[in-house]
Structure 1
Amino acid sequence: MTAIHRFQIPDYLNASSPVEYRRGKRENVRLFVLDRKRERTFHSLFTQLVSFLSPGDLLVLNNSRTIPSVLKGRLDGKNIEVRLSRRLSDDEWEVLIIGGKCSIGNVIEFPAGLTARITEMKKNSPLSKLAFSKESLELYHIIYQYGEPIRYEYIDHPWPLDAYQNVYASVPGSVEMPSAGRALSWKMLNMLKRYGIQIAYLQLHAGLSYYGQNRWPVANEHPEHFHIPAVTADLVNKTKKNNNRVIAVGTTVVRALESSVDGCGKVEPQDNITKLNIQKSYSLKVVDGLLTGFHEPEASHLDLLSAFIDENFLIQAYREAIDMGYLWHEFGDMNLIIPILEQC
């Protein structure tokens, strides 16, 4: 997808700190709106999100909670870093190991007497499989006690875990923040409800989005666990039946909803794993709009965005966002891609 890689993000547009430390409140970010119907752009504020929505529209949020997924350990007397990527069982995780050469059978030592043995090293992926010496709640207790949130090079400070949580996050499991909902405060959510916007929740536990050294996950080789409750499936199906818009808050929500559609075009409640690869050739079956952040040129998220709008318009819009000084990454500004109704 070469067309999607025709832009570069200047370093000064990397949001390095949470907006509430800069501007007082989470919702004090900008909103760049792309009209799917007429390929127009609008510059606004996130607090004006309701101006682009209509009563009866449905916002679907991912309430997966971010865990402190970076563990510092020792292997053969050397310091290494383990980044959790995906939970496989009560005591097994896929992980990214940074800072040392590893082999199957090696044992990594962590604080509090926790150890982990390398049981598999994937051939076409930088990920390995670890079997920990503790499991379930005991393992999570140590992860929360000694782990840290993932912090990429554009972050200039070790911000607390709360900075990487959405206010409505309730189900622990994401190793990176599902950051599309970060700007949604309880005040904004209540205001949207008063306006007649419906709110529903699902869970998709986000895995690592970047492996370092210019290595990125391939969507169809990047399984993620998701859960769609019956109440959410019903709301989505009723919204579609009433010809209102279903708006995903985050690419994780798009992936979960589009993975749960049956042969009749209805969303089914389920607990499952998705490997769905959404790109420009994919015909969206459920989701009408997307609220998201701004994505790196190498990220597979951009392939997903091209299922919503023409990729040439997407590149043009991203260049416009760069010219207008929008901020990137989890602490940055927001992007709404939606078919805008006439009254907007």
Structure 2
Amino acid sequence: METSALDFFLPENLNANLPPEKRGLRRDQVRMMTLNRKTGDIKHDRFFNLPLFLQPGDLIILNNSRTIPASLQSRWLRSGVQISNRVEIRLARRIFDDTWEAFIIANPVRVGDTLRFSEKLTATVIAEKESSPLKTIKFNKNGSELLNLIYVLGAPIRYEYIEQPWDLNYYQNVFATHPGSVEMPSAGRAFSWELLFQLKKNGIQVDFIQLHTGLSYLLEGHMDPKENPEEYHISPHTMEKILKAHSSGNRIIAVGTTVVRALESAARNGELSGATNLYINQQSSLKIVDGIITGLHEPKASHLDMLTAFLPEHQLLHAYHQAIQEGYLWHEFGDMNLII
């Protein structure tokens, strides 16, 4: 889904095409633009100084989902006849242990077509929807056996601004534990163990939820969040901690738009586990989240709509124009934005 209002020109040289480590930086040395929700003030710093902008008692919520190598190459067969010997399949969302929604980068496949990834792994196209570019595919393996084969055969999903492939480790957050995200929950990438320890030392609380991020971008544009449900899980202990901090007047700071969606969904429906397709924009009243740590989002991205729930559009666009003038870097290997 795209917005019409939040548009701006992003110079191509501001697309981060290298991980920070390949630019001579530690993860937590990327730049950080801080926006004050009350005053609109903008400050520029480095991410390792995050503790200076927070207060004892604040609670940071991170997404501990781990990225899987969700881009797979396959042969495409119809009625046993090979149509193409190399088709890219991008996994989008797990439905069952052996069934996924996927984006197949090829001429339209049909229900009944076969995708052959290796001698051990195949999948059959079992469903399609007129309103969606995604197909439902059913693998011949399931559970941990399927996941192991995906790790052997797959590669991280890579978009056009990343000029060369990078190892899966570059797409992992240091604290990630539960495999399932097809794209890195990239707002957490700049956290190092040293920074996490420093936050706790300063009396700033840290806890985790799990939301497996789905495919957000297709060849022709962004996925509509309303049509892109994502599976989340919040433990009762974590929710109790969130509610206690919230009632005590401490700030809840979500790391990433995925965490905002999960927490606000739970606050609205009372369910600690489920799938969320919650769409948040300037008309939304945030019930539990007070601040967000996120990357910089490209023009017309639906993520920008969510940020207008924290800041008025004109303030957000002013800050983004300043970030462009200052040479901030965009996307998953880029710089960070704290709105609080």
Q: Secondary structure at the match of 1:103?
A: coil
- 2:19 corresponds in structure 1 to 18
Q: Does 1:68 align with 2:72?
A: no
After superposition, give the CA deviation of every residue in 1:202-243 in whole Å (9 maximum; x if it has no partner): 001000110113x21111111000000012101110111110
Aligned ranges for residues 1-344 of structure 1 at < 5 Å?
A: 1-5=3-7, 7-75=8-76, 76-78=82-84, 79-213=86-220, 215-261=221-267, 270-338=272-340
The alignment covers a number of residue pairs equal to 332
Instruction: Choose 18-27 or 125-134, whichever is displaced more.
Output: 18-27
Instruction: Determine if contact 2:4/2:300 at 8 Å carries over to the other structure.
Output: no
After superposition, give the CA deviation of every residue in 1:51-93 in whole Å (9 maximum; x if it has no partner): 1100000000000000000010011241100000000001100
Instruction: Determine if contact 1:229/1:269 at 8 Å carries over to the other structure.
Output: no
Q: Distance in 2 between matches of 1:324 and 1:99?
A: 40
After superposition, give the CA deviation of every residue in 1:2-45 in whole Å (9 maximum; x if it has no partner): 2212x021110000111012124111100001110011111111
After superposition, give the CA deviation of every residue in 1:160-193 in whole Å (9 maximum; x if it has no partner): 0000000000000000000001010000000000
Q: Distance in 2 between matches of 1:262 and 1:320?
A: 35
Instruction: Determine if contact 1:223/1:274 at 8 Å carries over to the other structure.
Output: yes
Taking every aligned residue pair, what percent have the same amino acid on both sides?
Answer: 50
Q: Distance in 2 between matches of 1:328 and 1:240?
A: 31
| Cα distance, 1:99 vs structure 2 | 2.6
RMSD: 1.1
Output the TM-score relative to the length of structure 1.
0.94
Structure 2 portions without partners, runs of 5+:
77-81
| Cα distance, 1:112 vs structure 2 | 3.4
Q: Distance in 1 between matches of 2:330 and 2:43?
A: 18
After superposition, give the CA deviation of every residue in 1:93-124 in whole Å (9 maximum; x if it has no partner): 00000033311111111113211111112211
Instruction: Determine if contact 1:230/1:269 at 8 Å carries over to the other structure.
Output: no
Q: Secondary structure at the match of 1:27?
A: helix
Q: Distance in 2 between matches of 1:179 and 1:277?
A: 19
Structure 1 portions without partners, runs of 5+:
339-344
Q: Secondary structure at the match of 1:85?
A: strand
Q: Distance in 2 between matches of 1:2 and 1:21?
A: 35
Instruction: Determine if contact 2:5/2:300 at 8 Å carries over to the other structure.
Output: no
Q: Distance in 2 between matches of 1:335 and 1:202?
A: 20
Q: Distance in 1 between matches of 2:282 and 2:227?
A: 18
| Cα distance, 1:269 vs structure 2 | 6.3
Task: Report the AA paired with residue 50 of structure 1.
Answer: P
Q: Distance in 1 between matches of 2:89 and 2:4?
A: 32
Instruction: Determine if contact 1:20/1:28 at 8 Å carries over to the other structure.
Output: no
Task: Report the AA paired with residue 65 of structure 1.
Answer: R
| Cα distance, 1:262 vs structure 2 | 5.0
Q: Distance in 1 between matches of 2:46 and 2:285?
A: 30
Query: Runs in 1 of length 4+ with deviation above 2 angstroms?
Result: none
After superposition, give the CA deviation of every residue in 1:244-292 in whole Å (9 maximum; x if it has no partner): 10000000000000000158xxxx5621111111111000000000000
Output the TM-score relative to the length of structure 2.
0.95
Q: Distance in 1 between matches of 2:281 and 2:333?
A: 25
